[in-house]
Amino acid sequence: MRILVADDDPVSCRMMQRMLERSGYDVSVAVDGRAAALELTSGTGPKLALIDWMMPELDGPGVCREVRQRQDGSYVYIVLLTSKQSNDDIVEGLEAGADDYLTKPCNPAEVKARLLTGQRILQLEEKLVEAREDMRFRATHDGLTKLLNRSAVLASLRQSLDLFERESVPFSILLCDIDHFKRINDVHGHLAGDAVLDHFASRLRNAVRSGDLIGRYGGEEFLVLLGGCGADDLLMRAERIRQVISDSPFSIREGLLRVTVSVGGATVDARHRVGSIEAMLAMADASLYEAKAAGRDCVRLAEGSMLDAAAEPEQGRRRTDSVERVAGVAPLPA
């Protein structure tokens, strides 16, 4: 484990360094408090530190205070080394942010024992962070495909619309629906359907840029959020997704299975504006139904007239109805 030793006395520092290296630590050294504080707050520095109280530039308690003022990064476990023995001095060091203290001259066995306590605390923190991140992932991602779930991708869509309204950054969305998915479940079983969804998600990831977002919108329907993509590029991006899905069959336990996708899209840019994400989703949904009506395995994008209709100050179902009328198609079964 990495550890920082900060001591301006070269003899004491070297003795501590050798002792720790013999105990298996990866030791780095700082000769003043300012250098120690910079190392520990760098984000890549050691998470375990032995800091001498009396140092130039910045004393031990000052180093503790600077480290504790950080608002991000992992926890750093700090042991102060001091010749001070009064209760007031010990309290001052602990209140500054030290986790423990050792009185000079230090007993090597006690140093190792105190550092092992620090390691246990840091390991516990790592486990808590992992548990927190796992809970966060589960709350925002779909369990089967590991893509963003509906709530998370819609939250990202709202952020994109807010960014457009503030800074006019264009973006587009694509609604992708696996063709005849119910038939896959009925003929091959739900485990095969799950395998298709998993493979489909993998191909979607490979078909978009690293900064684009994909979410499982519901069932066999997926929402792709293309940041910085205007209407001029949307057809090319949508066609790439369609081709990546349909060009080669999916390999599942039951054998090879040809899968196709219908895609509907809409754009928000300088020429195409919407008042809400609900309006934009309604446009993409109407375009998707048009792709289904055209025979599936194809792309349809919202026209300018649809965007104009969606931008009118209507609310709720009236806005959705107006979009469906302009699209000129009735909802069809998936």
Would you please indicate which residues are annotated as catalytic (active-site) residues?
Answer: 220
Beta strands, E only, the chain: 2-6, 26-30, 48-52, 77-82, 100-103, 171-178, 213-218, 221-227, 250-252, 255-257, 261-268, 299-301
Q: Which of 176, 177, 172 is nearest to 233 (CA)?
A: 172
Alpha carbons 24 and 3: distance in angstroms, whole number: 10
Cα distances (angstroms) measured from residue 242 to each of 145, 284, 326, 333:
18, 15, 25, 20
The pair phi, psi for residue 103, each rounded to 5°, is: -95, 130
The pair phi, psi for residue 217, each rounded to 5°, is: -80, -30
Alpha carbons 216 and 204: distance in angstroms, whole number: 11
Asked if residue 76 lies in contact with residue 104, where contact means CB atoms within 8 angstroms, the answer is no
Sheet holding 171-178, edge to edge: 213-218, 221-227, 171-178, 261-268, 299-301
Q: How many CB atoms sit inside 10 A of residue 214's CB?
A: 23
Q: Quick one: 185 exposed, middle or buried, by C-beta within 10 A (0-12, 13-18, 19+)?
A: middle
Q: How many CB atoms sit inside 10 A of residue 333's CB?
A: 5
Give the number of C-alpha atoms closer than 13 A to the C-alpha of residue 77, restricted to the C-beta side. 18
**DSSP string of 75-99, one letter each residue:** --EEEEEES--SHHHHHHHHHHT-S
